[in-house]
Amino acid sequence: MSVAQDGQPGGGAEQQGPRHCYRHPERETGISCTRCERPICPDCMVPASVGFQCPECVRSGSGTGHPPGASRPRTVAGGRVTADPRLVTKVLVGINVAVFIAVLAVGNRLLDPLLLFGQAVTQPYGPLEGVAEGQWWRLLTSMFLHQEIWHIAMNMLGLWFLGPPLEAALGRIRFLALYLLSGIAGGAVTYLLAAPQQASLGASGAIFGLFGATAVLMRRLRYDMRPILILLAINLIFTFTWKNIAWEAHVGGLVAGLVLAYAMVHAPRRRRALVQYGAVALVLAVIVVLLVVRTLQLS
């Protein structure tokens, strides 16, 4: 069966009914690429010398008078459209699994220096250790630690399903910033509110940041939000009913994810960089304030 460039059977048949974006079939549109004539929605339109072009024509060099990279297609948050929208997600999963295997092989010698806790003596007659003693790296390293197989399995499952759509929508750099800052924010809230000797580990803060970001993105794209809200509600119920769960990390990561994602997907195009960098700076500033306040309390 022959297929015309606009996706309709038969090159000579006149198109009937509404047209839909070839990259987002659920979106109706009245705009076509001026080069290949495929229908495109606002998120896929790349301005050309005359009309708009689709991302594929721009990549191949569209005859606009500019090199192919000059009008590179962008995501809804302004990131670059990439061929593999799972790359950062795969790397993060790989790091978590590699650290998990390393901890199983080495044991406490590797685990103890990377755990998150405020202030404690880890060995008899040993010195005080923890974030309050200047070991700030624990806020980052604890995000990649897991001791139980069910723990890493649940977190990596969440990362694998929530990560790629967000990575595709935000772009790699923004997605990585969202993940890391959500995890660090969760650690900072844990440091502030938990007992100083309470050890914490896991990627749950970052995963809850992805939950919040997914809800913001689905609302921005006007998708049905009920599935993500139900899933988030179930996870929050587990957060506050199961024992030995650092609820502080979940709440801190969720709030950071909501703030960052809202700034990323709702920033006006002309001030996109300013709003997005400003949101990142704001979250970082709040994290620093929490760390300083708690450190002064424990000093």
Q: Which residues are catalytic?
A: 204, 250
Measure the CA–CA gap between 191 and 195, rounded to whole angstroms: 8
Instruction: Tell me the Cα Rg of the chain.
Output: 23
What type of residue is 34? T
Measure the CA–CA gap between 189 and 250, rounded to whole angstroms: 9
What type of residue is 196? P
- Structure tokens that stand for 124 in this block: 């008899």
- Structure tokens that stand for 12 in this block: 């000579």
What's the Cα-to-Cα distance from 209 to each of 50, 177, 222, 289, rounded to whole Å? 41, 11, 20, 20
